[in-house]
């Protein structure tokens, strides 16, 4: 099952359980969705078919988000990631549906014991630009610093201009990266094979597969 179908399955279950639509409505819209390339979100199709109003769709999306947050809490999701997502939605950088989808992607990859920050996933899925991620991090009072010596990058909380911090890998002095550079934070210069495969799966829309062996240093 693809990530989109997983999201739509949860959305459909909530919509039917709240009696806003029937199972027949869901079945009809899933048949229409199967003919789309790329497929539209189930909620959008339900609105287009006049099975839901925009207001009802918004209500279901919020309910879906609450369910996903409950799942995140059970899986011990970093609360800072949840805050990042809320700020991104409040800033109108992404929709609640895009946040829900990206949180699900993050959780699936985490099952392989591979961690991608939410901002990384949103950039790779082209839901947010690097500048939008940077601005959202600053809303959390965070700055991204990089090490000119080894290239490692870090999210730094409550950073003050003029502060001198050292890279934990090579002890180089951390500096602010140029504004036109990507804000994807890496703790190594090169992804290991497992992270690379997980990101390939993420971009292709496939569920993350079995982890591969790591590249030799």
Of 170, 181, 163, nearest in space to 147 by CA: 170
Q: Is the dihedral of CA 62, 63, 65, 69 positive or negative?
A: positive
Q: How far apart (Å, rounded) are the C-alpha atoms in residues 123 and 112? A: 21
Q: Is residue 2 situated within a structural domain?
A: yes
Amino acid 39: pLDDT: 84
Q: Is residue 177 situated within a structural domain?
A: no
Amino acid 78: pLDDT: 63
Q: Is residue 185 situated within a structural domain?
A: no
- On the CB side of 67, how many CA atoms lie within 13 Å of its CA? 18
Q: What's the pLDDT tens digit per position in 159-190?
A: 566 677 888 888 888 887 765 444 444 433 33
Count CB-CB contacts under 10 A for residue 72: 19
Average pLDDT of adjacent 10-residue blocks, the chain of 217 residues? 65 89 93 88 93 92 77 58 85 90 82 78 91 83 78 69 78 74 42 52 53 36
Number of domains in the chain: 1
31: containing domain: 1-74
Q: Is residue 120 situated within a structural domain?
A: no
Q: Strands, E, within 7-107: which ranges?
A: none
For 157, the 3-state DSSP assignment is strand
Rounded to two decimals, the pTM is 0.44
Q: Is residue 211 situated within a structural domain?
A: no
Amino acid 29: pLDDT: 93
Q: Is residue 115 situated within a structural domain?
A: no
């Amino acid at each position: 099952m693809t990530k989109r179908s997983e999201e739509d399955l949860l959305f459909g279950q909530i919509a039917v359980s709240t009696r806003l639509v029937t199972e027949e409505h869901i079945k009809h819209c899933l048949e229409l969705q199967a003919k789309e390339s790329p497929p539209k979100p189930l909620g959008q199709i339900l609105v287009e078919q006049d099975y839901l109003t925009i207001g009802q769709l918004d209500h279901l999306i919020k309910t879906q988000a609450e369910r996903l947050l409950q799942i995140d809490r059970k899986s011990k999701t970093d609360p800072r990631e949840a805050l990042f997502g809320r700020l991104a939605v409040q800033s109108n950088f992404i929709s609640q549906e895009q946040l829900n989808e990206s949180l699900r992607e993050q959780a699936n990859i985490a099952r392989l014991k591979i961690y991608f920050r939410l901002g990384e996933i949103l950039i790779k899925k082209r839901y947010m630009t690097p500048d939008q991620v940077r601005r959202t991090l600053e809303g959390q009072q965070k700055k991204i610093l990089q090490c000119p010596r080894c290239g490692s990058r870090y999210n730094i909380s409550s950073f003050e201009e003029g502060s001198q911090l050292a890279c934990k890998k090579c002890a180089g002095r951390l500096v602010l990266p140029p504004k036109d550079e990507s804000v994807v934070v890496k703790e190594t210069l090169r992804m290991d094979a497992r992270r690379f495969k997980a990101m390939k799966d993420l971009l292709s829309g496939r569920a993350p597969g079995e982890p591969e062996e790591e590249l030799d240093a």
